[in-house]
Structure 1
Amino acid sequence: MRIRLIVAALALALGALPASAAKAPKAVRIPDAAMSQAAKLRDQALASDLAYRITESLTTEVGARMAGSEADARAVEWAKAKFKSLGYEKVWTEPVTFPKWERRSEHGAVLGAHSQPLSLTALGGSPGGAVEGDVVRFTDFASLEAAPAGSLAGKIAFLDFQMEPKRDGADYGMGSRIRTRGPTAAASKGAIGYLMHSAGTDSHRMPHTGITRFDDGVSPIPAAALASPDAQQLSRLVAMGPQRVRLALDCGWNGEATSYNVIGEVRGSSKPDEVVLIGGHLDSWDLGTGAIDDGAGVGISMAAGALIAKMPKHPARTIRVVAFANEEQGLHGGRAYAAAHLPQITKHQIGAESDFGADRIYGYASSLPENAHEADEQILSALAPLGITRLEAGKGEGPGSDVGPFAQQGLAWASLAQDGTHYFDLHHTPDDTFDKIDPGAIQQNAAAYAVFAYLAASADGSFGSSAKPADASASH
């Protein structure tokens, strides 16, 4: 009797719950026919040089395209025309407005008995100005933060941290922090200028730029990155005794600009209102021609969609490729996309972005729920012939940069991790040019993105994208 009462109570409780809570989510799998088509698509993509040629076109015809510049506007027109020429069925733009930063000139030099020029570049977001001061060297960010208040008054802070090459680019976490947070920390201690060892892994006389930010209430100071050999040179000089440096930058914020996310779609055959989102960012810094960062990502994702468009039958869902605006200065395009499309988040099956160069993809990870485990394994099995294995936890998994803001709000995501061992040799430098792209490697990337997007768009069932509560998404 007691057992029957318990069973009855459970039945009543389950009956009181919504159907979605009382029933386990449907298992998601990919039809066998789609798996077979994906294998053919993979072979076709490996034989195609389309991603390479798209990247060549962007970096040659437009070149560097810093957000808000005349070249940025030309890149938007290039992307619209390229999508159309590749056979995308729908192409449109969505506006993205942001503060405009400009670089005009930059100079640095050691003064005094060891007078010599320094190869450096202004950090994006730095104000202009000319300062002279004695150099105070720090070897890590914690030491700079621990400097006593006022101890850097009239000085130029020099943070000398050397990144090490790693496949997952792990050292960039600290390199980026030193770039974005270092100038504020130095200014808060009274410094009149800031120099850093470039956030890179090369030994060339090529300084690495990148964005920095100043906290409210902190007066911005001229901030620049030294090429690695120059940082080493300055370190040796400081070890000999006090050194005085002159830093002269002509740069700064200049109003607002509007650019555009450029979007192309390959329409789904049976669920066209549901989308698989892939892309790269269209803007670049101004020193090189933005080949690895992120012309390659644009080329890879555009090519993947174009290869799917040529298939005899499109997958069930729509493939949406986005060339995001102004990633470099604050994920402006990714944030704008997330804000504009949050009401349709459940219609987004999954998102992934290529923004880590053009070397070979070696790992795969996703945020897919347990009920989509079989589909996730099917995707991985189709990627395996490309040399791609499951990523080890904590080693490179996570949404791409511009997909990140939407993922924080509940978008399902995947990571196709590229080998970043040499990425930071070129990142944000004058040396980021098309000749650094390896044709075979970028074809492997395009094949991986094409297979991933096609299978995700063919899956029988949802990958679970849904809006998080406002407080949950804001806490990430």
Structure 2
Amino acid sequence: MPSSHLRACVALLALVAVAGLAPAAPPEEVPGADLLPTLQAAARSDPFAFQLLAHLVDEIGPRLAGSPELERAVGWAEETFKGLGLERVWREEVLVPHWQRGVERLEMLAPEHRQLPLLGLGGSVGTAGVEAPVVVVRSFAELGPAVQGKIVLFNVPMERTRPALRGYGEAARYRSEGPSRAAACGAVAALVRSLATTSLATPHTGGTRYAEGVPPIPAAAITVEDAEWIARLVARGVTVRLRLEMGARTLPEVTSHNVLAEIRGCEWPEEIVLVGGHLDSWDVGRGAQDNGAGVVQVMAAMKLFRALPRPPRRTIRAVLFTNEENGLRGGKDYAARHGSELHVAAIETDLGAGRPLAWAAEGQPEALAWLRRIAAPVGLPVQEGGSGADTSPLAAAGVLGVGLRPEDEQYFAVHHTHADTLDKIDPAALAEGTAAVAGLVWLAANAPR
């Protein structure tokens, strides 16, 4: 553990010792809570977050790593932060992958001729055309010699769970690992059932990874409806034959940027409370829920802090990370550059604009006790387990990681699809999320040592 993170843990231990591990304090006993009503009322009444989101998703659009649109978003975010009058705004270079989708086509050739909607998986290789019968599997255990020379369809449903994130995590490994595992058994291509509990014939993309030493095969997502249809046909003994064409290609890595902005602490400026979300998105849809909503919640929170009558005791650092979707390079680069600095907490918002329900947190027991105490005035419970993708490298090194957990069923209905657009955003729920994030960051930045 870096020495700075050890100091952060010691600081939290001291704070908990002083508190005597007492039950959650009334709001007035938590330092900084006197300004919480002002802060949260402003978050709920100010349309700034939604206005920012409208510009980002409607006028800049999808922001895949390596694209000109992502770098336009970087410049826009930097200038917006500067326009808020923040004390320090800067960008940091990050080397990111550069994958392009190209033209895609999936045709059913038998038992009938039909074109099927698809989205290639990020990182997939392309193909000028591969044609083969389909083998349907529902687990990795079903892979074997029978898939050699075939197109494998992983028809694994995303279970309906609350939160939906849990079901997503359980099914996502078939998207990330499935194509390479199928290739190791001799498959010529892989299709995955889209990760969604609600579907209107819309495919959901996402990333896949190829194992070293295994020849890569083209991989794509198809709709829930088509996955179920093909599975029913195959179960009845019908031969389903498909032809897949994908223009996907991976180009040399390019330079992107994390965008950072700070409000310096007036008492302990060397101690940092990080609040962040990822600026990139997939190349389909407009990246409204994932993760335009999180981006503008962070930016709006910084505006709210700037308007308060006094500065925070600790430094508040906003970070808009690049390349979360297909590489996590932004989060990894930030941890490599700044891991020696003293981060008291790393708070992330990356699950859309639903009504806030809870915080997910990971850290030492003492840190979690501290979090429950200071978070009490915000009114959301703290749940153990997970926090955020971009802050996970910091959390792995011992920093308290916290992630906002909003209602996410609507989020996963449009997540990684062409339908992730501004009309799916409820401005009032977006504002509630801003109020929650701003409130917790402010309390963490003002809690005693």
TM-score between both structures, scaled by the size of structure 2: 0.91
Q: Structure 1 residues 175 and 306, CA, compared in 2 at 3 Å: closer, same or farther?
A: same
**Which of 116, 119, 140 is the aligned partner of 2:117?**
119
Aligned to 2:358: 363
> Counterpart of 1:212?
208
The match for 1:288 is 285
Q: Tell me the residue number matched to 1:472.
A: none
Structure 2 segments unaligned to the other structure (5+ residues): 1-8, 20-24
Q: CA deviation at 1:34?
A: 1.5
**What is the match of residue 321 of structure 1?**
318
Q: Structure 1 residue 61: deviation in Å?
A: 2.0
Q: How far did residue 285 of structure 1 move?
A: 0.3
Q: CA deviation at 1:405?
A: 1.0
Q: Which moved more, 1:24-33 or 1:446-455?
A: 24-33
1:297 maps to 294
Deviation at 1:373, TM superposition (A): 6.6
Q: Secondary structure at the match of 2:339?
A: helix
1:370 and 1:70 mapped to 2: Cα distance?
Answer: 43
Q: 1:382 aligned to 377, 382, 395, which one?
A: 377
Contact 1:96–1:259 (CA under 8 A) maintained in structure 2: yes
Question: Structure 1 residues 116 and 406, CA, compared in 2 at 3 Å: closer, same or farther?
Answer: same
- Separation in 1, partners of 2:422, 2:174: 28
Which one of the candidate residues 393, 397, 406 is aligned to 2:394? 406
Q: Deviations over 1:55-114 (max 9, x none)?
A: 112112210011001111111111111111223221101111022111111000110341
Residue 106 of structure 1, aligned match among 78, 81, 104: 104
Structure 1 pair 32/287, CA: closer, same or farther in 2 (3 Å)?
closer
Distance in 1, Cα, partners of 2:106 & 2:44: 47
Q: Pick from 179, 184, 187: which aligns with 2:180?
A: 184
Matched residue SS, 1:442 = helix
Q: CA deviation at 1:209?
A: 0.6
Aligned length, in residue pairs: 427
- For residue 299 of structure 1, report the CA deviation from its aligned partner: 0.6
One of 410, 424, 428 as aligned partner of 1:436: 424
Distance (whole Å) between structure 1 residues aligned to residue 367 and residue 110 of structure 2: 66
Counterpart AA for 1:155: K
Distance 1:272 1:253, change over 3 A: same
Partner AA of 2:135 in structure 1: V
User: What are the ranges of 5 or more consecutive residues in structure 1 without an aligned counterpart?
Assistant: 1-19, 462-476
Alignment of 1:172-251 (within 5 A): 172-240=168-236, 241-251=238-248
Deviations 1:386-429 (A, max 9, x none): xx2233x5xxx322110001110111222321122222111100
Aligned sequence identity (%): 41
C-alpha displacement of 1:25: 3.3
Q: Aligned runs of 1:161-180 on 2, under 5 Å?
A: 161-168=156-163, 169-180=165-176
Cα distance in structure 2, aligned partners of 1:86 and 1:34:
22
Q: Secondary structure at the match of 1:338?
A: helix
SS at match of 2:331: helix
Q: CA 1:246 to 1:259, structure 2 compared with 1: closer, same or farther past 3 Å?
A: same
Asked if 1 retains the 8 angstrom alpha-carbon contact of 2:183 and 2:217, the reply is yes
- Which range moved further: 373-382 or 304-313? 373-382
CA distance in 2, matches of 1:233, 1:321: 46
Distance 2:368 2:387 in 1: 18
Q: Report if the CA contact (8 A) 1:368-1:376 is conserved.
A: no
Residue 271 of structure 1 is matched in structure 2 by: 268
1:107-136 residue CA offsets vs partner (Å, 9 max, x unmatched): 001103411111111001110101000100
TM-score, normalization by structure 1: 0.86
SS at match of 1:218: coil
RMSD (CA atoms): 2.0
Aligned equivalents of 1:112, 1:255: Cα separation in 2: 38
CA distance in 2, matches of 1:221, 1:196: 13
Report if the CA contact (8 A) 1:160-1:231 is conserved. Answer: yes
Structure 1 distance, partners of 2:415, 2:140, is: 21
Partner SS for 1:58: helix
> Quick one: structure 1 residues 105 and 91, their matched pair in 2 at CA, closer, same or farther if it must change by over 3 Å?
same
